[in-house]
Amino acid sequence: MITVLIADDESHARERLTELLDRFGCFSIVAECCDGNEALTQIISSKPQVAFLDINMPGVSVFESLPSLSAQPIIIFQTAYSEYAAQAFDIDALDYLVKPVRYERLEKTVAKIKKYIYPATTASPPSSVPVHYSEHLSVTINSQTKVIDVNEIIRIMFDKGYSTLVTADGTFTSDKYLNYYEEKLSPERFFRTSRTDIINLDHLSMIHRICEGVYSVELKNGMQIDLSRRKAQQLKKKINF
């Protein structure tokens, strides 16, 4: 999956782009931001491969801040104002989308992204190398290393720069980001409910319908997590509820 950050101060624009990207089946949204400051912070911490950035957001200017990064993602600008196109390409943006974004136009952008990421292939991720997921994870506690069987992990939560691994034996704090664990854990057994949460599907107990298209999940330890409409649709594809 290609990791993506979406930054736009208009929530409907973020939702629209997320829905369009979901249709391609090859993108994972790792962060959504509503201003330039949050976008810059998340680019540094989440390290997305691609960033879709609105030009006219509150906070720091993306034009001023992006060139200062030692390593920046593939940049796709989106805005309602076409006069920024020349300036966008001055900082090596891969593409420039005018809102409202159309699916047919986004198809061309996605082709560019795949060609950039997989230049030696036919714009598809390499499939010959098998993916091996971890059976154990380690957490350092007071100079000692705790080894955790992934089967024992109930939930992983991220907040204020730290991840918390919840198990039946207790909780363990890690300075690693959620993206690290998402890459280590099998997507057949673990499901990312939001950008701050991963759950073990083996510990899923109940699914509660809140209203049309909106659900929450309950784990066997009693924890409940709300699902966005998009995440509920993704979970439906996995367990058909």
Neighbours of 68 (CB within 10 A): 8
Between 126 and 99, the higher pLDDT residue? 99
Which domain, by its residues, includes 212? 136-239
Q: Indicate whether 140 and 229 sit together in one domain.
A: yes
* 79-97 pLDDT tens trace: 776 555 445 445 567 888 8
Residue 195 to residue 202: CA distance in whole angstroms: 20
Average confidence (pLDDT) over 123-129: 50
Q: Residue 105 pLDDT > 50, yes or no?
A: yes
Torsion of CA 28, 30, 35, 41, to 10 degrees: -140
Q: Residue 65 pLDDT > 90, yes or no?
A: no
Query: What CATH number has the domain bearing residue 50?
Result: 3.40.50.2300
Residue 128's pLDDT band (cuts 50, 70, 90): very low
* 2-55 pLDDT tens trace: 999 999 999 989 998 998 998 888 999 999 999 989 999 999 999 999 999 988
Residue where one domain finishes, among candidates 50, 82, 117: 117
Contact 78, 54 (CB under 8 A): yes
What is the reported pTM? 0.51
Residue where one domain finishes, among candidates 117, 146, 166: 117
Domain count, the chain: 2
The pLDDT > 90 percentage for the chain reads: 42
Q: Indicate whether 8 and 95 sit together in one domain.
A: yes
Query: What CATH number has the domain bearing residue 217?
Result: 2.40.50.1020
* 190-221 pLDDT tens trace: 999 987 899 999 999 999 998 877 899 999 99
Residue 224: the pLDDT is 95
Residue 123 lies in a domain: no
| Nearest in space to 84 (alpha carbons), one of 224, 30, 76 | 76
Residue where one domain finishes, among candidates 117, 150, 177: 117
Burial of 23 per CB tally in 10 Å (0-12, 13-18, 19+): exposed
| Nearest in space to 59 (alpha carbons), one of 75, 84, 79, 39 | 39
Q: Which tokens in the block code for residue 174?
A: 């890690």
Q: Indicate whether 102 and 152 sit together in one domain.
A: no
